[in-house]
Structure 1
Amino acid sequence: MTTAPSPLWQPDAQRLQHSQLSAFREQAEALTGQTLDDYRALHQWSVREPEAFWNLVWDFCELQGHKGERVLEPSPVFRHNRWFPDARINMAENLLARDDTHPALISVDEAGRRDEISYNDLRVAAGQVAAQLRAAGIQPGDRVAGFMPNRIETVIAALGCAWIGAIWSSCSPDFGVQGVLDRFGQIEPKVLFACDGYQYNGKWIELDQRIHDLHDHLKPELLVVIPGRGDTTRVRQALNWKDWLEAAGPLPEFEPLAFNHPLYILYSSGTTGAPKCIVHGTGGALIQHAKEHRLHGDLGADDVLFYFTTCGWMMWNWLVSGLQTGATLVLYDGNPAYPDASRLFDLIDAEKITHFGTSAKFVQAVEKAGVVPKDSHDLSSLRTLMSTGSPLLHESYDFLYQQVKADLLVSSISGGTDILSCFALGNPVVPVYRGELQCLGLGLDVAVFNDDGEAVVGEKGELVCRAPFPACPVAFWNDPDEERFHDAYFDRFENVWAHGDYAEIVAHEGHDGLIIHGRSDAVLNPGGVRIGTAEIYRQVETLEEIREAIVIGQQFQGDVRVVLFVVPAEGIELTDELQKKIRATIRAGASPRHVPAVILTVPEIPRTVSGKIVELAVRDVVHGREVRNSNALANPEALAHFADRPELAE
């Protein structure tokens, strides 16, 4: 008989009684006359009666706009269901509903420069952008692009677009010109906002030439440049941000928009072809983010929210939506470990951050750097730590509770660019278990399917969503027949969203947790046994001799063999003894099936600009196939380390 795991964290009486999720449950019980005595019951109600649930979310989160009478116009086709078909709503109006001197945004860069703007000043600045865009003839549905670092002006520009119904799309300035053109070139923006430089790793990076090249290729009607240093810029044919804003006329009214009116265009990683341009709607993004921030994150008007992200990752859009709660957002631009791995913990104390968001990779890096935040920092303001980007290792949970803060709510979250939100995430009223995401998202009929399309619990399979949800993308850009859209999500199971994660639901008393075992398209299959890559990383990355690793399945002699590439720690060589240690660690911690047939060293691991490792690209290189879009990588030169390795020849 197996012993039930002990939770690492449990909500205290105050959280159970005073969280926004508890208040929402009370309202749901009053509305339905049902007793929803635990989270599972609340979640089941939310997917059993989606119209009542999303209607209550709108009211509870105090969304601004005209809701209309109908919540759902159903369709037999998953992606054609229309939510709030009569609604008229504006994202900027909702994010700027708080209109006082409370700090809205605090921007800090790695060099220590700090800027702050209040809610009322943010409203004025965003309105000036809206006025100037409208004066330039920009209409609802026109595309506006940002080639910008994560700073206050970027948020202002995005809010100004949303104000008049233009569509915002952004790329981080660490993208090369071709990587930006692969994205913006597809959507043909009429306006380009850019910053002529940014700070990273102790250096100032000039962007003048890149902006010139982008302007020459994209030919936008308007180019507005925010000077990175001082008040002037050297970029040709550019309007100066400050002068442009000051010339604005009266602030326009917020444009009332349909619930599905396009708000953002985001991009897939693009490592297996041209990036997909994923269009997200105004209402879906707003109501889903409001639900996640308020109910799952318990974020309120007195809180301070931080997420380490660039403007090329969907977590930036998710972070900006935190304004809907009236909280203060902290933006950071630069290397999160410069000048050392304590940098972001310094930021927590300096800005009194209550909700801190990061990546699993950052947590591992802090641990391997020997930082013990509980001894070196106060952290009294910090209540919740969120992690995404890749599965948070079991050992990382131990580190966070033992070396960061014992009473911390650790919320591992998972979703992605495709839904601009989360399928599984944190929860202020259920326990935290080692290695698990706390719960399935409210209003989302999430399940795990086996190969026969049957829902399973306690078994590994494909993460799916069985019923429509408001944050489903509106469309893919330039996909008139919806073929690419269908192939991306609905090709595996008829009329069921298949997300591409290899996962497992874990049943607990009162709620279900979720374990992510890796991407399903990267699952290893030696001898017909499916193995999630996260299970191998979990073991390897506990070894102090290994800095990081990437694992693939190689076609070999009619089967698949597991090949592990490692980046050793400084001064460490991959000896026979170390190889034996790696294999023994994997065998003991996972299974003999997981043990790699081949272990090789590489000097670096290829990653996307948002920091995700690219197993499929490495697999293609090993098999001699072309990587069709290496421009999507932050370090495409790293792929050369995996090519023509004699150790991998049959």
Structure 2
Amino acid sequence: MMSKKLWEGSKQFKEHSHLHDYKLWLATSKGLKFKNYQELWQWSVTEVEDFWESMWNYFNVISHKPYSKVLSSHQMPDCKWFEGATINYAEHLFRKAKDNETAIIFGNEAGINQDISWLELKTKVASLATYFKSIGVTKGDRVVAFLPNIPEATIAFLAVNSIGAIWSSTSPDFGSESVVDRFAQIEPKVLIAVDGYQYNGKPYDKSNIVNAIVDALPTLKKVLVLPYLNTNALDNFPKHYENINHIFNTVSGELTFEPVAFNHPIWVLYSSGTTGLPKAIVHSHGGILLEHLKYMAFHNDVHEGERFFWFSTTGWMMWNFVQAAFLMGASIVLYDGSPTYPNFNALWKFSEDVKIAHFGTSAPYLVACMKKGLMPKAEFDLYSIRSISSTGAPLPPEAFDYVYANIKDDVWLCSMAGGTDVCTAFVGGVPEYAVHSGEIQCRALGVSLYAYDDHGNPVEDQLGEMVIDKPMPSMPIYFWNDTDNKRYKASYFEHYPGKWRHGDFIRINSKTNGLVIYGRSDATLNRHGIRIGTSEIYRAVNKIKAVEDSLIVNLELEEGKHYMPLFVKMKNSAKLTDEVKSQINNQLKKEYSPRHVPDEIIQVDDIPYTISGKKMEAPIKKILLGMSLEKSINFDSMRNPESVQFFIEFATQI
């Protein structure tokens, strides 16, 4: 069934794109001509080495030593990319710097807007990098950050990266235990932290949390503090803690870049850690560089001088991804605070004020705007926005329609999906294709992705497991402290040996080449042998005006029995009535089938979410099945841990 077309780029839009330029370059330099994007994608996943070498050459990668071979083998996860080459990611981020132009635009919920020039950025990065070297931080050492989404976080990352050290960060809304669970694994030498932050109009002092983190990290040699909540914050800390502003004001140096091996670690990211110790995921300088060049150019189409924004925290991989806009010569836009303070229109007002070109957010945020009935296009001048990107959860068709009806009718809506695992998107936008309601436009170049049926066969136009059967440079080089890659292999390669199983259910549309993601396969609803994606349930329930949010699980009980409860959070604390229950059930029957109807609909005060905004279906399922709390959930990784108490009590009734 063909989905509704909502938008298509003009001839000028397509011909001005980086993708168009790349195709012309392939034709003139390689003699390769492709009729359309699908042909180009097919070549990129068939001729893997040729495609990634073309990325190297098209973007003219700065390499201090040559590589001996593009790819050592196709055997995942043991293959090596561009061995012999030495590069530096930060060197490429500064490549298009123009001293007097804007590098960073920063805003916060208090209404403060600040511009930072490339010259100021360069000066502060050089200052901090010089300081790091003076205290003995060298290539391969770990520097960790407990910082909000502020310019100092970007400055610190660039300084760490420029000297070949390894970066890792969490946001200050994490609890101390959750931070230590992450940072202790990698034995950092330096911690950079804030004293606190403001969110939703309230101050949160984190001085005690910072001290607790320091006490739990015996490998630390230095602690740097940024007074962010309180200008006299250093009075609350031990005297040997350094004020990072003092370093900026007193240390000077020249910005240089340490060449490192292509496969040298760039940073450590972490899985959500909702059900155990977070996986410490390590990516490479070169793999991330090539992937981010590709994605920013061909799938986000970011151009020099544009302003690229994504609402994120430093604890989500999208913060790392945002820094890559520098590769295109764009400015990055940072925002610290609640997206709904002082009101739900805060980010749209911010977009108008700072003239964002590429607006990135989460699917739940767009759905929340839709449920609130917001009409940003009627209240704000959003002429500068030419793309809106969404990730974090499947974006339902109704939210696609809402964007075009109520935010901007001539915008390129790029729904995308990937993960912390690769710090990019496997699937997303492309300038050549139209946007169809409810569909992600394409499989990204170089991503050999298919939907597999129960027998391991690629299928189209039906639900299947998302599988990537060829290596990508931005796949992890390893997990930290993972002997013989045991945990790494178990995470992705156990189900289909030698192939990456991502854990999502998808459907590929053979007519449009677009995709729909139906949610995590590990939270799949298996009703009488029929697999149901959780996103189908949420899509239908979202249409019930009285319901604010929902969560569904299916419990496999003894003697082959199943129990599928739907938990709903009502708007404005209203009561769940029989009438609302009937509306939900009828909507599910109407849009899908009787199998989609839950066994019971139960009202809750709140729906559990991770700090990065993911619904916690799998941990709640484990709790309801009677697994121990310590094996089911990590409260420190949650945005709203108090929401779990209901499910703990409810589990005793099942």
Superposition TM-score, scaled by structure 1 size: 0.97
Quote the Cα distance in structure 2 between the aligned partners of 1:99 and 1:330: 17
More deviation, 535-544/98-107 = 98-107
CA distance 1:249–1:376, shift in 2 (3 Å):
closer
Partner residue, 1:642: 647
Where does residue 187 of structure 2 map in the other structure?
A: 188
For 1:402 and 1:37, how far apart are their aligned partners in 2? Answer: 33
In the alignment, is the contact (CA less than 8 A) between 1:109 and 1:199 conserved in 2?
Answer: no
Higher mean displacement: 77-86 or 402-411: 77-86
Q: Which runs of 4+ in 1 moved over 4 A?
A: none
Q: Which SS does the other structure have where 2:553 is aligned?
A: strand
Gaps of 5+ in 1: none
Structure 2 counterpart SS, 1:507: coil
Letter in 2 for 1:77: Q
Structure 2: distance between partners of 1:10 and 1:332: 30
Q: Please say which of residues 56-65 and 590-599 is displaced more in the overlay.
A: 56-65
**Bigger mean CA deviation after superposition, 410-419 or 181-190:** 181-190
Change (3 A) 1:585 1:386: same
Which residue matches 1:175?
A: 174
Distance (whole Å) between structure 2 residues aligned to residue 127 and residue 44 of structure 1: 43
Check conservation: 1:526, 1:561, Cα contact below 8 A.
no
Matches of 2:373 and 2:121, distance apart in 1: 40
Distance in 2 of aligned mates of 1:506 and 1:494 = 26
3-state secondary structure, aligned to 2:291: helix
- Correspondence for 2:137: 138
| 1:388 to 1:137, Cα distance in 2 relative to 1, 3 A | same
Please tell me whether the aligned partners of residues 121 and 155 of structure 2 are also in contact (alpha carbons under 8 angstroms).
yes
Q: Deviations over 1:17-59 (max 9, x none)?
A: 1111111111122334233010000101111112221122223
Q: What amino acid is the match of 1:191?
A: V
SS at match of 2:140: coil
**Which residue number in structure 1 is paired with residue 506 of structure 2?**
503
Mind listing any 5+ residue stretches in structure 2 that lack a counterpart?
A: none
- Which residue of the partner structure matches residue 530 of structure 2? 529
Distance 2:246 2:3 in 1: 60
Report the Cα distance in structure 2 between the residues aligned to 1:279 and 1:495, rounded to whole angstroms: 19
Q: Corresponding residue for 1:621?
A: 623
Partners of 2:211 and 2:128 in 1: CA distance: 22
8 Å CA contact 1:89, 1:256 repeated in 2: yes
For 2:16, the aligned partner's letter is H
Matched residue type, 1:522: A
For the residues of structure 1 that align with 2:452 and 2:197, how far apart are their CA atoms? Answer: 45
Deviations 1:577-627 (A, max 9, x none): 211111001111121111101110110011111111100111111112123
Residue 121 of structure 1 is matched in structure 2 by 120
Q: Which residue of 1 aligns with 2:80?
A: 82
Q: CA deviation at 1:207?
A: 1.4
Aligned with 2:262 (options 248, 255, 259)? 259
> For 1:152-301, what aligned pairs fall within 5 Å after superposition?
152-219=151-218, 220-229=220-229, 231-233=231-233, 234=235, 235-236=237-238, 237-251=240-254, 253-301=256-304
- Cα distance, 1:100–1:64 mapped onto 2, change above 3 Å: farther
- Give, in whole Å, the separation in 1 of the partners of 2:111 and 2:648: 41
Matched, 1:572 2:570: no
Corresponding residue SS for 2:484: coil
Structure 1 residue 82, shift from structure 2 partner: 1.4
Q: Secondary structure at the match of 2:144?
A: strand
How far apart in 2 are the matches of 1:59 and 1:254? 21
Contact 1:465–1:497 (8 Å) recurs in 2: yes
2:602 to 589, 600, 603: 600
The answer for the alignment partner of 2:544 in structure 1 is: 543
Q: Secondary structure at the match of 2:320?
A: helix
**In 2, Cα distance between equivalents of 1:67 and 1:35:** 31
Aligned length, in residue pairs = 645
Match of 1:554 in 2: 555
Does the 8 A contact of 2:205 with 2:229 survive in 1? no
Deviation string 1:300-319 (CA, Å, 9 cap, x unpaired) is 11210000000000000000
- When structure 1 is superposed on structure 2, of 72-81 and 618-627 the one drifting more is 72-81
Q: Is the contact made by 2:23 and 2:33 (CA closer than 8 Å) also made in structure 1?
A: no
1:69 to partner: Cα distance: 4.6
* Identity of matched residues, %: 39
Tell whether the 8 Å contact from 1:92 to 1:163 is kept in structure 2 after alignment.
yes
Question: How far, CA to CA, are the matches of 2:31 and 2:65 in structure 1?
Answer: 24
Q: Cα distance 1:570–1:469, how it changes in 2: closer, same or farther (>3 A)?
A: same
**Structure 1, residues 524-548: CA drift from partner, whole Å, max 9, x if none?**
1111111110010000012111000
Supply the distance in 2 between the matched residues of 1:165 and 1:278 (Cα, whole angstroms): 17
Per-residue deviation, residues 267-312 of structure 1 (Å, max 9, x unmatched): 0011121100000111111111111111111101121000000000
Mapped contact 1:562–1:594 kept (Cα < 8 A)? no
> TM-score when scaled to structure 2?
0.96
Q: Distance in 1 between matches of 2:572 and 2:3?
A: 36
Assess if the C-alpha contact under 8 Å between 1:461 and 1:502 holds in 2. Answer: yes
Residues 197 and 228 in structure 1, CA contact (< 8 A), matched pair in contact too: yes
Query: Matched residue of 1:225: which SS?
Result: strand
Say if 1:526 and 1:559, in contact at 8 Å, map to a contact too: no
Is the partner of 1:23 in helix, strand or coil?
A: helix
Aligned counterpart, 2:4: 6
Counterpart Cα distance in 2 of 1:229 and 1:115: 17
Contact map agreement 1:99 1:123 (CA 8 A) in 2? no
Question: Matched residues in 2 for 1:522 and 1:67: separation?
Answer: 46
